[in-house]
Amino acid sequence: MNDGTINNFSNDIIELPIVAKQYNIYGVTLKKLQTLCVSLGMESYRAAQIFNALYKQKVSSFSEIKQIKKENQEKLAEKFTFEVFNSVKKQISIDGSVKYLFKLFDGKSIESVYMPWLSDDSSILERTTLCISSQVGCAVDCTFCATGKLGFTRNLDTGEIISQIMFIEKDLNIKLTNIVFMGMGEPLLNYKNVVDSIDIMTDENSGLLNRKKITVSTSGIVPKISQLSKIDKPVKLAISLHATTNGVRDKIVPLNKKMNIDDIMEAVEDYYRTTGLAITYEYIPFKDLNDTEADAKRLAKICKRVPSRVNLIPFNDISFTAPTGVAAELRPSSAEKVIEFAEQIRKFGGVAIVRDTFGRDIDAACGQLALSEKVNDKIMDLKL
């Protein structure tokens, strides 16, 4: 069984949690649903109709699927539930982003963040992105990330991953254009369930997302990067890099002691050769640690190994987790220094983008997801 630790790369998964002796319908891929339909005495093609109703029409009960006979609606209702969350709370940031706190039926909690990307003059909503979680907590324990301070509890099942998307699309009455696996957890330590969720998202019968609008962010689980490149509909890959030397990365990303930058770069090159998709490197500049001209030069060299870019991300406050050791010593590079650092990367031939941050006032920004109840706005309880 995959316990989520960085030493275990098994494809086995935690069994689907059962709610009232029913399985969550959102956790079933089309292929599995076809088999289940036949086992219930239905034609296999009904599975595509159910997928269409679930994800395009967004029905909330089987009785709404008119193509299915009533007796089959009842069979499905006995087997499956649409419910996966026990309760939901949300906070709205001054920048328009929204953080959701989902309480699961086993009492554990996860967070997701909706981010509206506006045009430069804020007149047009260019894309709608959801940052989703793949685990309860995280085993990787990067020093700059609040989620790692929670430790690892368990993997999310496929239904719990997809349900984040479905709930938020309904709640905000929007169509999400992009999904990023950058919430709580290391996605590639929950490989099977993450890949099954990608299968559902990219299935033409669900119509949820194009594969190139999905990004999986990893701290560098090298064996799984190779596997991910070979799925039917490969998605974009982001590497949570944050250093250009193994000495520095060992200090801030403990996983590097097992799979270092050289190992990651070999996996990245293989991923690009297999998929043809450009790579993104996520990089938080820290004062006097990884923001030197020499770092910029090394980053540019990394960028030129395969088509790729560096996203420079602000370091967001995690003092509410009471960090100690190296984590307590980290300080963000100044805004001016980050701009200069980006220009240096470009000077050496790399591609660098200075990213904005969302939801800092509600502890929803990159690295802050830790089930914090600190708010500058009212927490709203939502009815399920």
Q: What is the mean pLDDT of residues 81-100?
A: 89
pLDDT tens track for 224-260: 999 999 999 999 999 999 999 999 999 999 999 999 9
pLDDT tens track for 158-186: 999 999 999 999 999 999 999 999 999 99
Q: What is the Cα–Cα distance from 23 to 80, expressed in whole angstroms? A: 5
Residues 174 and 211 in one domain: yes
Q: Which helix (H) or strand (E) holds 346?
A: helix 335-347
**Domain contains 15:** no
If pLDDT is split at 50, 70 and 90, which confidence band does 378 have?
low
Residue spans of beta strands (DSSP E) within the chain: 23-24, 80-81, 85-92, 98-104, 109-118, 125-131, 135-137, 152-155, 178-181, 214-218, 236-240, 279-283, 308-312, 352-354, 380-382
Q: What is the CA radius of gyration of the chain?
A: 21
Question: Which residues lie closer than 8 Å to 327 by C-beta, 6 or more apart?
Answer: 143, 144, 318
Q: What is the Cα–Cα distance from 164 to 219, expressed in whole angstroms? A: 22
Q: Is the pLDDT of residue 134 over 90?
A: yes
Residues 199 and 71 in one domain: no
Q: Is the pLDDT of residue 188 over 70?
A: yes
Q: How many domains does the structure of the chain reveal?
A: 2
Residue 267 belongs to a domain with what CATH number? 3.20.20.70
Report residue 13 as tokens.
Answer: 């998964």
Residues 53 and 113 in one domain: no
Q: Is the pLDDT of residue 264 over 80?
A: yes
pLDDT (0 to 100) of residue 123: 76
Q: Is the pLDDT of residue 91 over 50?
A: yes
If pLDDT is split at 50, 70 and 90, which confidence band does 381 have?
low
What average pLDDT does the structure give for the chain?
A: 87
pLDDT (0 to 100) of residue 150: 80
Global pTM exceeds 0.95: no
Residues 99 and 233 in one domain: yes
Where is average pLDDT lowest: 11-25, 92-106, 142-156, 329-343? 11-25
Residues 180 and 131 in one domain: yes
Q: What percent of the chain has pLDDT over 70?
A: 85
Residues 321 and 352 in one domain: yes
The set of catalytic residues is 111, 366
pLDDT tens track for 268-322: 999 999 999 999 999 999 999 999 999 999 999 999 999 999 999 988 766 656 5
Structural domain of residue 227, as residue ranges?
Answer: 85-382
Q: What is the Cα–Cα distance from 305 to 164, expressed in whole angstroms? A: 35
Domain end point (choices 32, 65, 81): 81
pLDDT (0 to 100) of residue 13: 30
Residue 72 belongs to a domain with what CATH number? 1.10.150.530
